[in-house]
Amino acid sequence: MGYRVALAALDALGGERALDEELVAVVENDSCAVDAIQAVLGCTFGKGSLVFRDYGRHVYTVYRRETGEGVRISLRAPDQEAQQSRQERRQMLLTAPQEELLLVEPATEPLPGYAPIEPSEPCDACGQPTMRSRLVEVDGRRLCRPCAERVAAESQGSST
């Protein structure tokens, strides 16, 4: 699925795999399809060019930073009557005409900005350097999210 989505995005936006941040992908699931998005398009978390939204949908929006142009690519609803084996489904994903498999539309959401680069500060509980904007204030202490969740769970446990 991700391979076909990536090819459709390159076809719609022109060009080739990103070397840096030329392409940005917003993915709405964490399936293995996202692996192909990373490999084929060159969009990665590390470069800030892969944005994950946990919506559980096979929807992928890809932008070309240079032009601001984007496409929203979604999986067409499968035929509910068709019962396919895993092998048949795989073959269909690889060989079906793009227009039968995917809906490719202009993106309606704005192009995401560049990933923020912020200084890290130590968590007051565990000392782990944490991006400043991700620290949570709890009882006057600046905590990373795991420590903040642990403190909240401990305080709930002591109040019962």
Q: How confident is the model at residue 90 (pLDDT cuts 50, 70, 90)?
A: confident
More confident: 83 or 110:
110
Least confident residue range of 39-43, 80-84, 121-125? 80-84
Q: How confident is the model at residue 147 (pLDDT cuts 50, 70, 90)?
A: very high
Looking at residue 55, what is its pLDDT?
97
Looking at residue 82, what is its pLDDT?
62
More confident: 156 or 30:
30
Which domains, ranges and CATH numbers included, belong to the chain?
2-106 (3.30.1330.20), 120-158 (3.30.60)
pLDDT mean over 79-91:
76
Average pLDDT over all residues of the chain: 92
Least confident residue range of 14-18, 24-28, 100-104, 125-129? 14-18
pLDDT mean over 102-131:
94
Which residue, among 37, 33, 108, 29, has the nearest Cα to 71 in the 3D structure?
A: 108
Extract the tokens encoding 72: 């929203």
Which pTM was predicted? 0.80
For 78-94, b/e burial (b = at least 16 CB within 10 A) is eeeeeeeeeeeeeeeee
